Amino acid sequence: MAEETNIEKIKKALESAPKRGFLESVEIAINLKDVDLKQPKNRIQEQIILPKGRGKPMKVVVFGSGEFALKAKEVADLVIQPEEIDDLVKNKRSTKRMVNEHDFFIAETPLMPVIGKRMGIILGPRGKMPQPLPPQADPAPIIASLRNKIRIRSKDRRTFHAAIGTIEMSVADLTANYEEVIKRVQAHLDRGLMNIDSVYVKTTMGPSTRMM
């Protein structure tokens, strides 16, 4: 029997998942081997633009003021003015919830030292320190690109996860996204695919299907 293709395996993962009452993500789990992840230089941390999109837009927060903030309000999910940073620091519980509920952060470059000093303890461990932009920049195109990005982070664990789309996307599109993520991950590894022990795909609450 011929080996199943990626598209056939992802189709199986979707078909084996019970229907749920919400829009489920389709997720990839990657297990590494023979990689010393105790060494920070060996850890994988990258943002990847999915070629077929995320299936739902990622949520973007902008730290900014003046004209920069006005431009951002038209396209961002949340705009935080400099004078609001103190309130965020004081209300750590609600701030942590806000950070967890949003995917990417952008900030005017002059605000980066303040954000790092006051909020780095919350943003840093979650891999969500803002991408700096000069005050004269238009944040709209950057935000548009972030809508289709995912973040992959192995930290010091051999297993890590990422979303490659949603169950409403076509199997072909999900397969294209899957293959892009695998390509980008193996590019970080000294031995490429030889450093990947196994890969699984599943819906948010569905069973896993082994890809490799």
Where do the domains of the chain lie? Answer: 6-55+149-210, 60-146
Quick one: pLDDT band at residue 131, thresholds 50, 70, 90? very high
Averaged pLDDT, 55-60: 87
pLDDT value of residue 87: 92
Hunting for tokens 């935080």 — which residue is that?
A: 80
Sign of CA dihedral 186, 180, 172, 161: positive
Q: Report the topology of domain 6-55+149-210.
A: Ribulose 1,5 Bisphosphate Carboxylase/Oxygenase (3.30.190)
Sign of CA dihedral 101, 106, 111, 115: positive
pLDDT value of residue 110: 96
Mean of the per-residue pLDDT values of the chain: 93
The fourth-level CATH superfamily of domain 60-146 is Ribosomal protein L1/L10, domain II (3.40.50.790)
Residue 3 has pLDDT above 80, yes or no: no
Longest dimension (CA), the chain: 65
